[in-house]
Amino acid sequence: MATTSETPNSEHIQIKVRSPDGSEVYFKIKKKAKLEKLMSTYCVRLGQSPDAVRFLFDGDRIKGDSTPEELGIEHGDIIDAMVQQTGGAS
């Protein structure tokens, strides 16, 4: 009988992306999928340019061609999204 809860052998995981203001967006992706689609979708939802947002997992910057499996990201883990600040100098 199938259940709706995640199992360690599940092909998909749920990841939370958290912005500096504390808002969270949840994504369900495959463990072997490149993170670039998640990153792009997050930027579209926030109305930000992908070049202006940095994604961090455990303090390390994430590249779009990485996969959750390669980075050790597991079901329920959190990725931090940081919007790059520009300008201010005169």
Q: Please indicate, yes or no, if residue 53 is contained in any of the structural domains.
A: yes
Q: Which residue has the higher pLDDT, 66 or 6?
A: 66
List, for residues 3-58, the tens digit of each pLDDT value: 445 445 579 999 999 998 999 999 999 999 999 999 999 999 989 999 999 999 99
Q: Please indicate, yes or no, if residue 77 is contained in any of the structural domains.
A: yes
Q: What is the model's pTM?
A: 0.81
pLDDT of residue 1: 44
Look up the domain containing 50 and give its range.
Answer: 12-83
CATH number at residue 73: 3.10.20.90
Provide the number of structural domains found in the chain: 1
Q: Please indicate, yes or no, if residue 22 is contained in any of the structural domains.
A: yes
Q: Please indicate, yes or no, if residue 20 is contained in any of the structural domains.
A: yes
pLDDT of residue 8: 53
DSSP string, 3-72: -SS--TT-SEEEEEEE-TTS-EEEEEEETTS-THHHHHHHHHHHT--GGGEEEEETTEEPPTT--HHHHT
